[in-house]
Amino acid sequence: MNKPASVPEQFDAVVVGAGFSGLFMLYQLRQLGLSVRVFDSAGDVGGTWYWNRYPGARCDIPTTDYAYSFDPELEKEWTWSEKYATQPEILDYLRFVTDRYGLRSDIEFSTVVTSARWDEQERRWRIKTGRGMEIECRYYIMATGCLSVPKSPDIEGISRFAGQVYFTSRWPHEGADFTGQRVAVIGTGSSGIQCIPLIARQASQLTVFQRTANFSIPAHNGPASAERLKQLDEDRDGYRHAARWSRGGIPTELTDIMGVTASEAVRRERFEAAWTQGELFGIINVFADQLVNPASNDIVAGMIREKIGSIVKDPATAEALSPKDHYFGTKRPCLDTGYFETFNLPHVRLVDLRKQPIISITEEGIQTADESFGFDAIVYATGFDAMTGPLVAVDVAGRDGVSLKEKWATGPSTYLGLMTAGFPNFFMLTGPGSPSVLSNMAVSIEQHVEWVAGCLKDMREDGFETIEPTELAESGWNSHVQDCAAITLHPTANSWYMGANVPGKPRFFLPYIGGVDAYRKACDEVVERGYLGFSMTGPDGARCRDGVIRRMQPDVALVLNLMTAMGLPPMETLSAADARALLAAIEAARPPGPQVGEVSDGVIPGPAGDLPYRLYRPAGPPEGPRPLVVYFHGGGWVLGNLDSDDPLCRDLCARSGAVVMSVNYRHAPEARFPAAALDAFAAVRWADASAAELGGIPGQLAVAGWSAGGNIAAVACHLARDAGGPHVSGQVLICPVVDSDLTRLSYQENGDGYILTTPLMRWFWDHYADPADRGDHRATPLRGNLPGLPPACIVAADFDPLRDEGVAYARALEAAGVPVRLVRARGHTHTSVPMVGLVISGAPVRAEIAEALRDFFPNAVPQEHLS
Ligand code: NA7
């Protein structure tokens, strides 16, 4: 007789993981009245704190902040004994929370979830466990943590060793006694740095095998900070609110002091204060620019290296312990208690694996390129397959049987780090693309759990059964996550944040670095906008509000916010003179742009008098003439001068290797149309005739301009063609004005709020040209005759009212047979691309412009030869 097939147990939701996030998720789902089953492979609650029991294991976020805040009563009932609690105390806390809310009854311990498959027909997940259980549920939630799958140490011969073997991430419950033993520790991340001083107390010999020296500052552990306790005591709600809306999940006053411009005294004072405070968010907030500006980062890194040098007595050991191969903060910095001091003990030795790599583990110990070591015990503190590892460890298959592993083969893709397209009703807590490991996990976990619970509640109220992100929303979020990382130094490091610690793992910045506050705002806004970027289905139909939640480059948004905060008057309400004065005042505070070889000023004859120019010569080698670019500044024909676009000209010169000649032209309203255009053409003719004396290569001349400068650069090309010369090799038009139609879609979308507004553009046109003249191709080159114009590179920025006319010009040129390179400045505004030094995300656009310039010239200096 056939055994009847067992009937799978039915639940509303299955949660994998009974750590910080899984426990709170269970609590919240119960509040919604849902039936829930939680699975955990561990024998008890605790997640990471269940497994990581190595000596010295502690949190690196102050425990006052590393705790649940959802229930004020709970907070009253628990007091942390230390500033940074130990693993046993945190585990006790999580057990206490579990019992206080009676959560245990819904948790199945010592049970691994092996697979989860979406059944499209039933709109349910089918779950299997390692113990042969089959469960079906509507919602499948991975609360598996970010650092829960240990990375294989990838060292030859691990199984050969005859002595004791320990992994910090799977420490035995009965502990380990190293008394009198010769012990090796491999790995100097947070786990290694925490356990090394304690192992040294017992071991007769301790040898630390270091591949990468790591930045660490003293934790100065002790009682919980009196100041924080006082703040919590006086205004718990205010404190927790501030944490939720802070950058990292701990109330922190962010500095605006820049490392590069601060005085030596201020630098020292701020660093010493952070060193003494002993908090991660303090040491990464010494300077506002330390994670984006290498020079500023070097200041902090240098001071930490000085400290290491002053603690460690043996200079060679101090040198080896001093991190030099990554920027401070791009790998997780550590908090330690006596780590560097441990290397002053006579029985402790550091082996620098950069000098003598491990060849293999042997039966007796470790064989490096230079030495054979004998040990009684080896401790592996070699890290984790972070963030994605725990998610792909389960065989999760979404719609059409596509597995998460397959979908993420080239890197994780999520919407808000919460969900991924093709996997309906599958939620990740603190998944890739969320602040997670860059934040106070407790705060981020609560935010994620509350968002998921709120979403399930809303779905129920609206009669929906499934939810899933759209491809568009997801790819928009992925771009935003990478954009945020790209303006920092993070992508330069071989960190686990980048997936670089696991051989073969795609290099991809995993967490969201935009901040807990910015992230929460985005998640809230998604809900306010009717679950923007999600599609939902239910018995009564479907709903999809497609769209991208954050399209603007993060640093562009920051600059816009700063400018809004300045409360500047709208330019179009000012006189031309006052507008010019305001612009000059704003420019005075900006970074200067890169160094070039030589800068000199001069004048050239124009049609109505002399025109000033500034010449930028690239730093050599090679010596000798270079192609020449005649550049025209922006400012709506009214504003601007040689200073206004100086940083951009420097940047163009340095990146392209060409000589750049920036020409000032007559401005409106003093000199109206076509004065500026005629001056531009005169400048091009003069530059062509004088190329040799300007250091240019005769016959290799291009024009360039931004905004109204782009307008007259384009017009100069028309005039040169019509006059039969001079020959112009190419034209670079950065967000140019090429038409006077202020009704295009890009005006409708962006005409309000991004510095260049519709009223301002109207003000510029009114100052420059009578309506009757605006159809003249010398004012609106889009309306002119286009065949025979030089090859063009046109930059169109997403948030620019002029975007669509730039695109239209590119298309029209193409149609007229002119080679065109259209550069889409994704996430940029009209004014952000030229903001050299301020808007880092503009750098790739400027690099592309420079490449286009080099392509115009037969004798351009190849990029690899540029200094
Ligand atoms: P980490 O920070 O990833 O550190 C792992 C360490 O192990 C790191 O120093 C690695 O060097 C080293 N390692 C890894 N594989 C090897 C091999 N094969 N040979 C030699 N050395 C190796 O993990 P942790 O557990 O310390 O900390 C993880 C997080 O937990 C921490 O950031 C806190 O957030 C809590 P590498 O740097 O790769 O050269």
Q: Which two tokens stand for residue 798?
A: 């997403």
Mean pLDDT of 497-518: 96
Ligand 1 atom at minimal distance to the Cα of residue 383: 23
Please calculate the CA angle 246-251-256 and round it to the nearest 5 degrees: 70
Query: What spacing in Å lies between the alpha carbon of 190 and ligand 1's midpoint?
Result: 7
Hey, how many other C-beta atoms are within 10 angstroms of the C-beta on 224?
A: 20
Query: What spacing in Å lies between the alpha carbon of 193 and ligand 1's midpoint?
Result: 10
Mean pLDDT of the chain: 96
Q: Which of 58, 146, 191, 438 to mutate to test the pocket of ligand 1 (most atoms within 8 A of CB)?
A: 191
Residue 2 has pLDDT above 70, yes or no: no
**Residues ≥6 apart with Cβ < 8 Å to 461:** none
536-561 pLDDT, tens digit per residue, is: 999 999 999 999 999 999 999 999 99
Query: What spacing in Å lies between the alpha carbon of 321 and ligand 1's midpoint?
Result: 15
Cis peptide before 669 (omega within 30 of 0): yes
Residue 808 has pLDDT above 50, yes or no: yes
Q: Identify the residue whose C-alpha is closest to ligand 1 atom 10.
A: 187
The total number of residues written for the chain in this structure: 867
Report pTM.
0.95
Q: Which of 11, 30, 14 is nearest to 101 (CA)?
A: 30
Please calculate the CA angle 807-812-816 and round it to the nearest 5 degrees: 145
The pairs formed by 88-97 with CB atoms below 8 angstroms and a separation of 24 or more are 88/53, 89/63, 90/46, 90/49, 90/59, 90/63, 90/66, 91/46, 91/49, 91/50, 93/67, 94/19, 94/20, 94/23, 94/45, 94/46, 94/47, 94/49, 95/44, 95/45, 95/46, 97/23, 97/68
426-482 pLDDT, tens digit per residue, is: 999 999 999 999 999 999 999 999 999 999 999 999 999 999 999 999 999 999 999
Phi, psi (degrees; rounded to nearest 5) at 858: -65, -30
Residue in the block written with tokens 């808000």:
416
Q: Identify the residue whose C-alpha is closest to ligand 1 atom 38.
A: 501
Query: What spacing in Å lies between the alpha carbon of 259 and ligand 1's midpoint?
Result: 29
Q: Which two tokens stand for residue 228?
A: 């924080």
> Could you give the C-alpha distances from 765 to 637, 668, 739, 771, in angstroms and in order?
8, 9, 10, 8
Query: What spacing in Å lies between the alpha carbon of 186 and ligand 1's midpoint?
Result: 9
Residue 396 has pLDDT above 60, yes or no: yes
How does residue 860 score in pLDDT terms, banded at 50, 70 and 90?
A: confident
What pLDDT was estimated at residue 867? 63
Query: What spacing in Å lies between the alpha carbon of 440 and ligand 1's midpoint?
Result: 20
How does residue 5 score in pLDDT terms, banded at 50, 70 and 90?
A: low
Is residue 443 within 8 Å of residue 520, measured between CB atoms? no
Query: What spacing in Å lies between the alpha carbon of 151 and ligand 1's midpoint?
Result: 9
DSSP characters over 3-46: PPPPPPEEEEEEEE--SHHHHHHHHHHHHTT--EEEE-SSSSS-
DSSP SS3 for 551: coil
| Amino acid making up residue 85 | A
Residue 3 has pLDDT above 60, yes or no: no
512-532 pLDDT, tens digit per residue, is: 999 999 999 999 999 999 999
The ligand 1 site (C-beta within 6 Å) comprises 147, 153-155, 168, 186-192, 211-212, 332, 353, 381-384, 496, 501
Helix runs in 736-818, H state only: 745-750, 758-768, 803-815
Percent of the chain residues topping a pLDDT of 70:
99
**Residues ≥6 apart with Cβ < 8 Å to 265:** none
Q: Which of 354, 501, 510 to mutate to test the pocket of ligand 1 (most atoms within 8 A of CB)?
A: 501
Q: Which of 84, 373, 340 is nearest to 197 (CA)?
A: 340
- Give the integer Cα–Cα distance in Å for 661 and 617: 9
Hey, how many other C-beta atoms are within 10 angstroms of the C-beta on 121?
A: 6
Mean pLDDT of 854-865: 86
Ligand 1 atom at minimal distance to the Cα of residue 380: 7
What pLDDT was estimated at residue 4? 46
Q: Identify the residue whose C-alpha is closest to ligand 1 atom 2.
A: 189
Residue 501 has pLDDT above 80, yes or no: yes
676-701 pLDDT, tens digit per residue, is: 999 999 999 999 999 999 999 999 99
- Beta strands, E only, 133-277: 134-142, 164-167, 182-186, 205-210, 216-218
Ligand 1 atom at minimal distance to the Cα of residue 214: 9
- Beta strands, E only, 607-668: 609-617, 626-632, 659-663
321-370 pLDDT, tens digit per residue, is: 999 999 999 999 999 999 999 999 999 999 999 999 999 999 999 999 99
Beta strands 36-39 and 107-108 are parallel
| Amino acid making up residue 71 | D
Percent of the chain residues topping a pLDDT of 90:
96
How does residue 1 score in pLDDT terms, banded at 50, 70 and 90?
A: very low
- Give the integer Cα–Cα distance in Å for 18 and 21: 7
Q: Which two tokens stand for residue 337?
A: 């208690």
Query: What spacing in Å lies between the alpha carbon of 192 and ligand 1's midpoint?
Result: 8
Hey, how many other C-beta atoms are within 10 angstroms of the C-beta on 559?
A: 18
Query: What spacing in Å lies between the alpha carbon of 61 and ligand 1's midpoint?
Result: 19
Ligand 1 atom at minimal distance to the Cα of residue 188: 9
Cis peptide before 801 (omega within 30 of 0): no
What pLDDT was estimated at residue 80? 93
Query: What spacing in Å lies between the alpha carbon of 480 and ligand 1's midpoint?
Result: 28
314-327 pLDDT, tens digit per residue, is: 999 999 999 999 99
Q: Which of 52, 190, 354, 361 to mutate to test the pocket of ligand 1 (most atoms within 8 A of CB)?
A: 190
Enter the DSSP assignment of 252: -
- Give the integer Cα–Cα distance in Å for 342 and 592: 46
Query: What spacing in Å lies between the alpha carbon of 252 and ligand 1's midpoint?
Result: 28
